[in-house]
Amino acid sequence: MSEFVYGRQPVLEILKAGQRTLHKIWILEGTGGDIIQEIQQLARTKGVPFEWARREHLDKRVQGHHQGVVAEASATKFLDLDGFLAQLEPTAPALLVALDEIQDPHNVGAILRSAGFFGVAGAIVPKWRNAPVGETAARVSSGAIEHVPLMRVTNLAHSIKELQEAGFEVIGADMEGDLLSDYQPGKRCVIVFGSEGAGLRRLVRERCDKLLRISGAGKVASLNVAATAAIFLFEFRRRSSIGRAPVL
């Protein structure tokens, strides 16, 4: 199974990460620049075929602003949570994120971009009732999904118990929680972000060890979930001794 990935940075990151198979790359005729040259160089090094193409050829393959670069790649890889946890050393520090039925793929992509920037060790995505980690999320993440291990789970509430048994403290981002600024993160944490409208589901909220919120000073009641995730991850990295993402 394959999918189309488009945009200069997403295609470049696939080449750099080497986690997925690239079948072919199409580049708009006359396109230049440092990133295009780097894509061509890496494609040659890795034996990935590429060719120049007309705009109408690229426009037929994808719907969106492709920036003159389209690639056909194997589908996004998802790991098994059990297998991921088994690869971590029992006491190794790690920061994970979990998405609880987030509906907008733009938000999924933005959260994964922040996760990649802050060195998150992995992201947990429900199999059902969650926006797909596909073309849109890949483009919005600017290729960060190639560097953040993804785990797909059937039941997030059940997976929370599994994470707790593995020594993770599970933190829910919730407007009814305690202040994030008063919290001191431990070495193993999972931050759960809820859907754009309803937030965390009841059972997921109840399973969390702690609920935290961001304090505001304006008249707007809440933040977009992607903005919330960026602030949480910044604060967790700033305030904790959690190491960067382990190489698995």
pTM: 0.82
The tens digit of pLDDT for each residue in 152-190 reads 999 999 999 999 999 999 999 999 999 999 999 989 999
- Whether pLDDT at 219 is above 50: yes
Of 81, 84, 78, 242, nearest to 161 by C-alpha is 81
Label residue 248 by pLDDT band (50, 70, 90): very low
- Whether pLDDT at 246 is above 60: no
Cβ atoms within 10 Å of 226's Cβ, excluding its own: 21
CA distance 149 to 147: 6
Of 144, 105, 114, nearest to 227 by C-alpha is 114
Contacts of 86 (CB under 8 A, 6+ apart): none
Chain centroid to CA 1: how far?
21
Taking the CA atoms of 171, 174, 179 and 180 in sequence, report the sign of the dihedral they define. Answer: positive
The tens digit of pLDDT for each residue in 82-133 reads 999 988 887 788 999 999 989 888 899 999 999 999 999 999 998 877 766 7
Which alpha helices (H) appear in 98-141, and where do they start and end? Answer: 105-117, 135-140
